[in-house]
Structure 1
Amino acid sequence: MKQKVIAFFPEAAYGPALNSVGIAQACEALGHKAVFLTDPGMSGVYAGYGFEEHMVNMSAPMPAEEMARYWVDFINGHIPNFRKTPLEQIDNYVKECWAAIVETAKWAQKDLPAVLDKVKPDLICVDNVILFPAIKQYGKPWVRIISCSENEIEDPDIPPHLSGMSIDDKAGHAQFRQRFEEVVGPIHEDFNQFLQAHGEEPYPLGTFFEASPYMNLLLYPDAVKFDRRHPLPPERFHYLQGCVRHDTPYEIPQFRAHNDEPLLYASFGSLGSGDVELLKRLIDAVGKLPYRALFNVGEHLDEYPDLPDNVQISNWFPQPSVIAQVDAVIHHGGNNSFTECLFFGKPAIVMSYVWDGHDNAMRAEESGHGFKLDRYEWTEAQLAEKLAACLNDEAMRLRLQRTSAQMQSRKGPQDAATILDKVLNDA
């Protein structure tokens, strides 16, 4: 078999990046060559897993250190908006995000044609929320990976993407969709002008990407997916049941207190770690409880000089290895954290702050796999109550056990690689 080149182009964020790493590892196991197209701000992430990297500028070129800080500063600047409801965030965080995302598509178009000509991929996999015309027009099959919540693919019977609403709140769905279209209207019009300038048809209001005609891979597992009015056709949409990568093994450290008690893991992702005051409050609350806890605090290690004896912190953890060993997780609703908890059968308290974290928090609660807790409006008694339920709710434990067994039996990365191999062979 002639080795085929599969180019992965994930969004410049760790969630999509590491999902694609898991799939790329499985593709190489089948004998293909996986390479990564990447924003310079993520340079080194894929090389760390042994993959070739090809840079695509998605903003004005700047020094690497400045580039790496761009989205961190963007998030930190919005911390006051994290206290707002998803509906209220449309006018600030969501609006600014979409404006920035449209600019990334325009910048990427400058580099992509030449990079694709250099890499010569036989297949391109895109994990992003926006179309890059050069990829669609390259002349080779392209696959869309949806590592955000499943409602990124709209349906009239499910909550709108980013809304965090219950499936039953139909009036709320309509209100959210109307406000979203009003606020992003000018940004969307600008994007449509860009599409037309590059030979593409304009998209309907509110749509920034289309489904691939070849294949679309969704990370959501069956246990939490939505009941749609229009089911996604299986020949073009495949649920991967999660996509957990191979990562560094992690050895649980010794704790000075409660060393034999249940172990918690808390992480708000690489960007959410900037919410230092919230993490300090959580650490203080957990310090009073009969548990051990590992906290991911990102770049802010020096801001935690005094820690309880039952808490340890780090700037980074090999998360799949950690979640596999803990008893419960507190996270922000990022899709990696959400699906990894389900994959390993771990109950979670989801304290969302932006984007599809709101949707995943609601899905965790509505599907009985965890709890949704307001990020700021909570008491120590409420946190203790939710943690006790995570550890002692027998029905939830059995539900998570079933979901984990089903997800692990499917082997998402290998499943994805087999499907991509078929797309290559059919091309």
Structure 2
Amino acid sequence: MNRPPVIALFPEASFGAALNCVGIARELAARGAEAVFICHPGFTGVFAEYGFREYHLQPEPAAVPGRGETYWQNFVTTHLAHFDLSPQAQLEAYVAPTWEAIIDTVISVEDSLEALLAQIQPDAILLDNVIMFPAILRSGRPWVRVVSCAETEIPDPCVPPYLSGLAPEDVAGRARWEKAASATLKPAHNRYNAFRRARGLRPLPAGEFLECSEGLNLLLAPSAVRYPRMQPLPADRFVFLEGCVREEVPFDPPPLPANEGPLVYMSFGSLGAIDTDQIKRMIEVFATLPARFYVNVGGFMDEYRQVPDNVSLGSWFPQPSVVAQSALFIHHGGNNSFCEALFHGVPSLVMPYCWDGHDNARRAQDTGTGRHMHRSDWSPDALRGVIETLLEDRALRDRLAAISADMKAEPGVARAAEAVLSLVRAG
């Protein structure tokens, strides 16, 4: 190869996947590859800010409305009440409508994605998503599946069902979940398979929206929280990563009037920030604690009129740099956030809204790396008590420090980049 290999990274329209891919792209670039990004509407400029070339998808306007950030904010706002439901109740209320919206996106960008891949001519494609875009398989290019959601996305008899929030040993719960999921998701799955057939691809088995790559699959599943599998994944195709934590600009904590106590960071992701009432309720509890709280409120700064002396709000934080200085990370259970907490040896208080947040909340609780609380069904005293317990647990902090040292000794971004370039070299 007389030119640097071109690697096209295609993350889903979420900041967790997007910034995970930024970490991998930086490492690829450091090893001499040209990393470029294919990005959805609403993410224009996100990757350019990190120095990468962007190729912008142009959805078919007649097929479906644009799937930019405003669309998904409205979608989440509509479903806020459903985030209080159990994972199984969310199947019908939230998960099925979300799959339908995701399928709409796949259909709407198919022609644009096919044209972009023909233009880029990548040597490999990294797909960080929960669904296959037929244009990727139709391109004939080597492709990599990146599992940046919970490890439960890859099924196994010893691994709880994806999105269920169940424990591995809950056999009865698994049976109920699988029966409900099969019935609820069948219409979306049938529609997606019909589109695959129309594009010349084989249909997928019931409940599956994305096949594993025959070349390479990367799973963000640190060994400290990884499940033992009945059917081990072949090591030549499946590479487990100790997180995929990127370096960010340094974070210098803004001084607060109450500038004492441990630093606690809270972020429910770009879309979780929509629930301003819930965040305000939590801030009232924060005001009673001897700690400094830095809270990501996304684009909703104007919703907060009075802020306690020990709380600082921001529309964006360089999250890895903040977490590295934190004594506690309160988050929604996104896999990127969970991995960052483990990477920096910080306990998690996981208050899941939906999707794999339920799986990661369960895993944090079961592995003793954090605590799981319902996102809204709590009293001020209960929330205060959990925060105080996590801040004061010295044994937990020591255990997490050992996990952090192991993860940092084998950075996920480096292992991912080497695996991708090995795939390219192998042709």
Give the TM-score normalised by the residue count of structure 2.
0.97
Question: Contact 2:87–2:358 (CA<8 Å) still a contact in 1?
Answer: yes
Equivalent AA in structure 2 for residue 205 of structure 1: A
User: Who is 1:317 aligned against?
Assistant: 317
Question: Contact 2:83–2:353 (CA<8 Å) still a contact in 1?
Answer: yes
Task: Report the CA distance between 1:61 and its aligned residue.
Answer: 7.8
Give 1:170-181 correspondences, 5 Å limit.
170-181=171-182
Task: Report the CA distance between 1:106 and its aligned residue.
Answer: 1.3
Is the aligned partner of 1:69 residue 2:70? yes
Question: Contact 1:58–1:105 (CA<8 Å) still a contact in 2?
Answer: no
Question: Contact 2:260–2:290 (CA<8 Å) still a contact in 1?
Answer: no
Task: Report the CA distance between 1:140 and its aligned residue.
Answer: 1.9
Equivalent AA in structure 2 for residue 280 of structure 1: K
Is the aligned partner of 1:14 residue 2:29? no
Give 1:20-419 correspondences, 5 Å limit.
20-58=21-59, 60=61, 67-257=68-258, 259-419=259-419
SS at match of 1:342: helix
Equivalent AA in structure 2 for residue 403 of structure 1: I
Equivalent AA in structure 1 for residue 297 of structure 2: V
Q: Deviations over 1:21-76 (max 9, x none)?
A: 000000000011000111122111111111111112356389x9983301111111
Cα distance change of structure 1 residues 55 and 61 upon mapping to structure 2, 3 Å threshold: farther
Counterparts of 1:107 and 1:65 in 2: how far apart (Å)?
Answer: 9
Question: Contact 1:263–1:291 (CA<8 Å) still a contact in 2?
Answer: yes
Question: Contact 1:328–1:348 (CA<8 Å) still a contact in 2?
Answer: yes
Equivalent AA in structure 2 for residue 250 of structure 1: F
Q: Deviations over 1:185-220 (max 9, x none)?
A: 011111111111111111111011110000100111
Counterparts of 1:248 and 1:104 in 2: how far apart (Å)?
Answer: 33
Counterparts of 1:306 and 1:114 in 2: how far apart (Å)?
Answer: 50
Task: Report the CA distance between 1:343 and its aligned residue.
Answer: 0.4
Question: Contact 1:59–1:104 (CA<8 Å) still a contact in 2?
Answer: no
Question: Contact 1:273–1:300 (CA<8 Å) still a contact in 2?
Answer: yes
Counterparts of 2:104 and 2:58 in 1: how far apart (Å)?
Answer: 11
SS at match of 2:42: helix
SS at match of 1:88: helix
Question: Contact 1:329–1:347 (CA<8 Å) still a contact in 2?
Answer: yes
Question: Contact 1:38–1:55 (CA<8 Å) still a contact in 2?
Answer: yes
Counterparts of 1:80 and 1:207 in 2: how far apart (Å)?
Answer: 27
SS at match of 1:81: helix
Equivalent AA in structure 2 for residue 6 of structure 1: I
SS at match of 1:313: strand
Q: Deviations over 1:75-126 (max 9, x none)?
A: 1111010110110000111011000111111122211221111111011000
Runs of 4+ in 1 over 4 A off after TM superposition: none
Counterparts of 1:194 and 1:120 in 2: how far apart (Å)?
Answer: 24
SS at match of 2:249: coil
SS at match of 2:261: coil
Task: Report the CA distance between 1:147 and its aligned residue.
Answer: 0.2
SS at match of 1:40: coil
Question: Contact 2:124–2:142 (CA<8 Å) still a contact in 1?
Answer: yes
Equivalent AA in structure 2 for residue 238 of structure 1: V
Counterparts of 2:152 and 2:375 in 1: how far apart (Å)?
Answer: 22
Task: Report the CA distance between 1:394 and its aligned residue.
Answer: 2.8
Question: Contact 1:368–1:399 (CA<8 Å) still a contact in 2?
Answer: no
Cα distance change of structure 1 residues 411 and 109 upon mapping to structure 2, 3 Å threshold: same
Q: Alpha carbon RMSD of aligned pairs, Å?
A: 1.6
Counterparts of 1:395 and 1:291 in 2: how far apart (Å)?
Answer: 20
Question: Contact 1:296–1:316 (CA<8 Å) still a contact in 2?
Answer: yes
Paired residues, number: 426
Single out whichever of 385-394 and 329-338 deviates more from structure 2: 385-394
Question: Contact 1:21–1:46 (CA<8 Å) still a contact in 2?
Answer: yes
Q: Deviations over 1:139-176 (max 9, x none)?
A: 22100000000010011222111111112211111111
SS at match of 1:42: coil
SS at match of 1:408: helix
SS at match of 1:405: helix
Task: Report the CA distance between 1:260 and its aligned residue.
Answer: 2.4
Cα distance change of structure 1 residues 94 and 110 upon mapping to structure 2, 3 Å threshold: same
Cα distance change of structure 1 residues 13 and 58 upon mapping to structure 2, 3 Å threshold: farther
Counterparts of 1:146 and 1:68 in 2: how far apart (Å)?
Answer: 22
Equivalent AA in structure 2 for residue 281 of structure 1: R
Counterparts of 2:417 and 2:404 in 1: how far apart (Å)?
Answer: 21
Question: Contact 1:244–1:413 (CA<8 Å) still a contact in 2?
Answer: yes
Counterparts of 1:166 and 1:287 in 2: how far apart (Å)?
Answer: 34
Equivalent AA in structure 2 for residue 339 of structure 1: C
Question: Contact 2:41–2:67 (CA<8 Å) still a contact in 1?
Answer: no
Single out whichever of 50-59 and 378-387 deviates more from structure 2: 50-59
Give the TM-score normalised by the residue count of structure 1.
0.97
Q: Deviations over 1:369-400 (max 9, x none)?
A: 00000111111221122112212223311221
Note the residue ranges of structure 1 that are not aligned, 5 or more in a row.
Answer: none
Equivalent AA in structure 2 for residue 330 of structure 1: I
